[in-house]
Chains A and B, each alone.
Chain A
Amino acid sequence: MIEAHHLTKTFKDKKRGIITAVDNVSFTCRPGQIYGLLGANGAGKTTTLRLLATLLQPTSGTATLAGHDAATAGVQVRANVGFLAASTALYGRLTAREMITYFGELNGLTEDAIQARIKQLADELDMHEFLDRRCDKFSTGMKQKTSIARTLIHDPAVMIFDEPTLGLDVMTARAIVKFVRDCRDRGKTVIYSTHIMSEVEKLCDRVGIIHGGKLVAEGTVAELRTRYGEQDLEEVFVKAVGGEAALTAALKN
């Protein structure tokens, strides 16, 4: 379960003064559900997810993940969260096995538990062939599989995906989408940020449209279509953020 209450995050910028990256964002994501965070570049998706993963501290507001408060119990939150983003890379000089083992150890798992889990994940993700090769020699697909195994080593209840298909080829992106769906089917709480409409349509049970740091619309894909009177999700998105002019202005900023 993820519960965000009035999450706000501001940054100080020498040139632009105080910037509000996330502005009073509240939503709830339940187990066995994928919550899609849809927004343009710079809308505040990554900051929101970093707040949930306790990488950043909110300026105000609270977030509870798997029953733990993000502000006061960061360690417990992270122990129950798997965070996968385009910016979470692998240690190139370690092998896939060493990489996954390292994160298993950091999560406090025993040696036996780690080895058993690695075997299980390698079976599921078809990783045996490259498990003992160094990550810097991997193809994009191999890297993504290793990253997924890294996020799943401690079998977290909550999964946070920040644009996980960014820059991936079609086949790898499809594999990721399938994996995210599997996570939901296993009863995990999943939050998924993207700006790709088709992924939202395919995956998300609920969608939050974020613009200028604010959550401007929320609901199921069907509810949003009805509310904005559009079938095309892209049109729904443009209307929700206040039209093309507002979107262009935000992108310029």
Chain B
Amino acid sequence: MTWKNILTVYLKELRDSLRDRRTLISVIVIPTFVMPAMFFGVFKIGSQIVSKAKEEIPSVMILGGEDSPALVAELKASKKIKVVAAAADWKQQISDKKVRAAVQLPAGFEAGLKVGAADPVIIYNYEGELKSTFAVTELERFFRDLRERTVTARLTERALPATLVKPFDFRRENVAPPEKVGGNLFGGIVPYMIIILCFTGAMYPAMDLTAGEKERGTMETLLCSPVPRVDLVLGKFLMVLTGSLSAMLLSLTSMGISAMIGGALLSGGGGGGAKLAAAADQAKAAGSVMPMIDPLGIFGVIAMVLPVAVLFSAVIFTVALFAKSYKEAQSYVGPMVILVIMPAVVGMLPGIELNAKLALVPIFNLSLVCKEMLSGVWHWNYIALIFGSSCVYAGLALALAVRMFNREDVMFRV
């Protein structure tokens, strides 16, 4: 093995790949432009949908309540809900999303309330539907308020203090450092994206440098050269790894820059007007989350991703090497994306904590440890275990790639 040979092969592959449109798209264009655009696009659309849903005054139907005119009037006077005329097909109307919720006032509710024997109020909603949930929240707030007012009135009647039913108060205060909050919010999605990008970044160079070369007939030309095959593998492999890491680093950089520019544009645009002020507030809120990812965590993540990128590159290289054509390689490598996504998605779920056994599961362990590191939590024993095990897996995969490259039935498969 000589580094000069490896470097010669690597530099040639780098030059060749930079002239390949497919590789350029998968390694540079998609990670730099498409992924951040998609990420922020989905985030923006999602937040717009939610704020629009919040702005809409939900239509609510009152069922019954003929003998509770004051309550009905109060409900109708509420600015947070819009009371529509009751109809027999109210259930259907809720299902059809024409009405967001319905409230069933029991017979003699007002009278019952006065004597302290009111039947329960029932709120009908469409579970899981965002706007229906907002309507229910408003109705619950209304009736909770009514209940509290009733209690206060009864206590006053009996000359009893309010503390009788509310002896103490409690409130919630966050002790998690801001980066922990940011880490929890983004800690799941960032490793997930990194894992996917590392994989897709390696995919096209790996297929092009193996099956693609076989198909085009250049592999045999290369094998005629007096360079040991291990040097050829390592040179090619380094190019695949470059693709994998470039996709990941370009995407991270692009997203970081987009977030900073986006934040700066919004916060710097406060020149008056309610809309601009609101935009600035939004930016401030977003800004308070985005930079709160532990910056050291980002470097930690990149360091932890390295052996996994080696693992991905070597595995895809080996699998693609087995194929006779680019198309065949695509049919082998394509489904592998699912194998990578699944552990990354599971690792993203909240509540799953890192332990010694999980630290040995490839990809999944990376997802979990990255989540922790971005939150500013450093379990050094697990980090060492994960890094070590990932290096072992990567080494084995690379050894397998070299072995496959030396096999005649793989290189000259007919």
B12 touches A102 (CB 8 A): yes
Per-position contact with B for A72-87: 1 when CB-CB < 8 Å, else 0?
Answer: 0001111101010101
Complex interface residues of chain B between 217 and 237 (CB less than 8 A to chain A): 217-218, 220-221, 223-228
Chain A hits for B218, CB < 8 A: 88-91
User: A53 to B5, alpha carbons, bound, how many Å?
Assistant: 20
Chain B hits for A81, CB < 8 A: 224
B12 touches A88 (CB 8 A): no
A78 touches B217 (CB 8 A): no
User: A50 to B20, alpha carbons, bound, how many Å?
Assistant: 30
Q: Which of A30-38, A103-111, A188-196, A208-216 participates in binding chain B?
A: A103-111
Complex interface residues of chain B between 269 and 313 (CB less than 8 A to chain A): none
The answer to whether the Cβ of B56 comes within 8 Å of any Cβ in the partner chain is no
Interface SS of chain B: helix
Complex interface residues of chain A between 61 and 75 (CB less than 8 A to chain B): 75
Q: Which of A92-100, A169-177, A178-186, A224-232 participates in binding chain B?
A: A92-100
User: Who on chain A is nearest to B215 by CB?
Assistant: A89
User: A75 to B226, alpha carbons, bound, how many Å?
Assistant: 5
Complex interface residues of chain A between 23 and 55 (CB less than 8 A to chain B): 50, 53, 55
User: Who on chain A is nearest to B2 by CB?
Assistant: A108
B19 touches A75 (CB 8 A): no
The answer to whether the Cβ of B216 comes within 8 Å of any Cβ in the partner chain is yes
The answer to whether the Cβ of B143 comes within 8 Å of any Cβ in the partner chain is no
Contact A107 to B225, CB < 8 A, known contacts A55-B412, A93-B19: yes
User: Who on chain A is nearest to B227 by CB?
Assistant: A106
Nearest Cβ distance between residue B224 and chain A, in whole angstroms? 4
The answer to whether the Cβ of A165 comes within 8 Å of any Cβ in the partner chain is no
Chain A hits for B5, CB < 8 A: 106
The answer to whether the Cβ of B67 comes within 8 Å of any Cβ in the partner chain is no
User: A50 to B224, alpha carbons, bound, how many Å?
Assistant: 9
The answer to whether the Cβ of B157 comes within 8 Å of any Cβ in the partner chain is no
User: A91 to B9, alpha carbons, bound, how many Å?
Assistant: 13
The answer to whether the Cβ of B353 comes within 8 Å of any Cβ in the partner chain is no
Chain A hits for B12, CB < 8 A: 91, 94, 98, 102
Q: In the complex, which of the residues B8, B19, B216 contacts A89, with contact meaning CB atoms closer than 8 Å? A: B216
A55 touches B226 (CB 8 A): no
Contact A91 to B16, CB < 8 A, known contacts A55-B412, A56-B408, A102-B8: yes
User: Who on chain A is nearest to B229 by CB?
Assistant: A74
Chain B hits for A12, CB < 8 A: 409
The answer to whether the Cβ of A57 comes within 8 Å of any Cβ in the partner chain is yes
Chain A hits for B221, CB < 8 A: 88-90, 150
Chain A hits for B158, CB < 8 A: none
Chain B hits for A87, CB < 8 A: 217, 220
User: A92 to B21, alpha carbons, bound, how many Å?
Assistant: 13
User: Who on chain B is nearest to A89 by CB?
Assistant: B217
A76 touches B226 (CB 8 A): yes
B224 touches A78 (CB 8 A): yes
Contact A55 to B223, CB < 8 A, known contacts A90-B218, A106-B5: yes
Report the contact-size class of chain A (Cβ under 8 Å from the partner).
20 to 34
Nearest Cβ distance between residue B403 and chain A, in whole angstroms? 15
User: A150 to B223, alpha carbons, bound, how many Å?
Assistant: 13
Interface SS of chain A: mixed
Q: In the complex, which of the residues B9, B15, B217, B228 contacts A88, with contact meaning CB atoms closer than 8 Å? A: B217
User: A137 to B285, alpha carbons, bound, how many Å?
Assistant: 55
A105 touches B224 (CB 8 A): no
User: A83 to B5, alpha carbons, bound, how many Å?
Assistant: 20
Nearest Cβ distance between residue A79 and chain B, in whole angstroms? 4
Chain B hits for A103, CB < 8 A: 225
Nearest Cβ distance between residue A118 and chain B, in whole angstroms? 16
Q: In the complex, which of the residues B8, B15, B224 contacts A98, with contact meaning CB atoms closer than 8 Å? A: B15
B224 touches A55 (CB 8 A): yes
User: A11 to B224, alpha carbons, bound, how many Å?
Assistant: 21
Chain B hits for A11, CB < 8 A: 409
Nearest Cβ distance between residue A81 and chain B, in whole angstroms? 7
B228 touches A75 (CB 8 A): yes
User: Who on chain A is nearest to B7 by CB?
Assistant: A105
Chain B hits for A92, CB < 8 A: 216
B412 touches A106 (CB 8 A): no
User: A93 to B218, alpha carbons, bound, how many Å?
Assistant: 11
Nearest Cβ distance between residue B25 and chain A, in whole angstroms? 15
Complex interface residues of chain B between 12 and 27 (CB less than 8 A to chain A): 12, 15-16, 19-20
Chain A hits for B216, CB < 8 A: 89, 92
Nearest Cβ distance between residue B321 and chain A, in whole angstroms? 16
Nearest Cβ distance between residue B226 and chain A, in whole angstroms? 4
User: A89 to B220, alpha carbons, bound, how many Å?
Assistant: 8
Nearest Cβ distance between residue A144 and chain B, in whole angstroms? 13
Most chain A CB within a 10 A radius of its CB, from B15, B226, B409, B412: B226
Chain A hits for B225, CB < 8 A: 78, 103, 106-107
Task: List chain A positions with a Cβ less than 8 A from chain B.
Answer: 11-12, 50, 53, 55-57, 75-79, 81, 83, 85, 87-94, 98, 102-103, 105-108, 150
A56-B412, A93-B16, A106-B5 are known; give 10 further A-B pairs, CB within 8 A: A12-B409, A55-B223, A55-B224, A55-B412, A78-B226, A79-B226, A87-B217, A88-B217, A94-B12, A106-B227
A-B contact pairs, 23 of them (CB 8 A): A56-B412, A57-B408, A75-B227, A75-B228, A85-B220, A88-B217, A88-B218, A88-B220, A88-B224, A89-B216, A89-B220, A89-B221, A91-B16, A91-B218, A93-B16, A93-B19, A93-B20, A94-B15, A98-B15, A103-B225, A105-B8, A106-B8, A107-B225
7 closest cross-chain pairs (CB), A and B: A89-B217, A79-B226, A78-B226, A106-B225, A88-B221, A93-B19, A83-B224
